[in-house]
Chain A
């Protein structure tokens, strides 16, 4: 048999181990179909995003006359692709979802802030608010699969801090919608919510309104430190609920650092109730 490098070998044996172990909760909802379907979704996403970023989006950029329109078109393509991917995942039976209040997303100067329980939260949000800008992990710019899409759509890397803040401020002032996950990375299950202050800071500086989106996934899946084949015993249901706008006028009387700390504390309080709702 071919020898595999250590890490891959551990993954492969963990994969087969996960198949044979007897689960604590009974496996339902066509578990043995959902498992390969989940694998298919990962493969599909990787190939699709790579082709989009390496071929389709650079072509759009090349052929569009002005930079601004090119970026808009790239975002429409990325958003449409992700929307399609959401329906694909639902179609092959790996999830169900409900998106409540999506018509409130996509207004000029709006910051959308969401909690981040799963790997695919951004897939939903970008899919349903396709023309938004997005603050993304700087790592997505180095990742060969996502790099092309991030550049073409003009998404803003989250580091270095000052570049992110100024770029986000400029985008909001230009009337864009901006999507941010204040936690910066997926919630570690069982850990208290840990949000970064960047979202509140950018909001106080330049947003017209802050709109929270509360994401829950029941039973939890695709959370941090979980490999793709550890799928939940039941078909997971994603619920994305758009909350009421937060009025920024209440914060803007004081200097930015003080105002952003207050908004940050309020956002954390608003979201910490949500992420605790689990099975």
Chain B
């Protein structure tokens, strides 16, 4: 189990590494589509990357309702409390 702050740090680090984003642009309210220019193909890469880090098999389907960085953190937090 990771705290929300830890999740936030991992998400932020991943976005910077995978998409060469500037760290300050990754704020909780940043929108993936509009602010970060992350599309549905990127989303698959991001989900693959995060599921390796969190050692949990997830599907991009679980992230359908994710629009912002905050949504993603909430979603991961929810998923990690579920049984594997």
Contact = CB atoms under 8 A, between A and B. Distances in A.
B78 interface: no
Contacts of B41: 161, 165, 197-198, 201, 260
B22 interface: no
Interface string B2-13: 000000000000
Nearest to A204: B45
Contacts of A189: none
Contact of A255 (B39, B43, B45): B45
A197 B40 CA distance: 10
Nearest to B17: A255
Most chain B beta-carbon neighbours within 10 Å: one of A161, A198, A201 = A161
A162 B19 contact: no
A165 B40 CA distance: 11
Contacts, number: 39
A256 B45 contact: yes
A255 B41 CA distance: 13
B22 to A, nearest CB: 15
A162 B18 contact: no
Interface residues of B, number: 18
Contacts of B42: 257
A201 B60 contact: no
Contact of A258 (B19, B60, B61): B19
Contact of B19 (A161, A197, A198, A257): A257
Contact of B18 (A161, A166, A201, A255): A255
24 contacts: A161-B44, A161-B60, A162-B40, A162-B43, A162-B47, A162-B59, A162-B61, A165-B44, A166-B44, A197-B41, A198-B41, A201-B41, A201-B44, A201-B45, A255-B45, A255-B49, A256-B18, A256-B45, A257-B18, A257-B19, A257-B42, A257-B45, A258-B18, A258-B19
Contacts of B19: 257-258
B61 to A, nearest CB: 7
A178 to B, nearest CB: 16
B17 to A, nearest CB: 6
Interface of A: 160-162, 165-166, 197-198, 201, 255-258, 260
A166 B58 CA distance: 13
B55 interface: no
Interface string B28-63: 000000000001111111111100000000011100
Most chain A beta-carbon neighbours within 10 Å: one of B44, B48, B49 = B44
A160 B19 CA distance: 22
A194 B42 CA distance: 18
A166 B41 CA distance: 11
A116 B47 CA distance: 31
B20 A162 contact: no
Contacts of B59: 162
A160 B60 CA distance: 10
B20 A161 contact: no
Given A162-B47, A201-B41, 14 more contacts: A161-B40, A162-B43, A162-B60, A201-B44, A201-B45, A255-B45, A255-B49, A256-B18, A256-B48, A257-B18, A257-B42, A257-B46, A258-B19, A258-B20
A258 B41 CA distance: 12
A197 B44 CA distance: 12
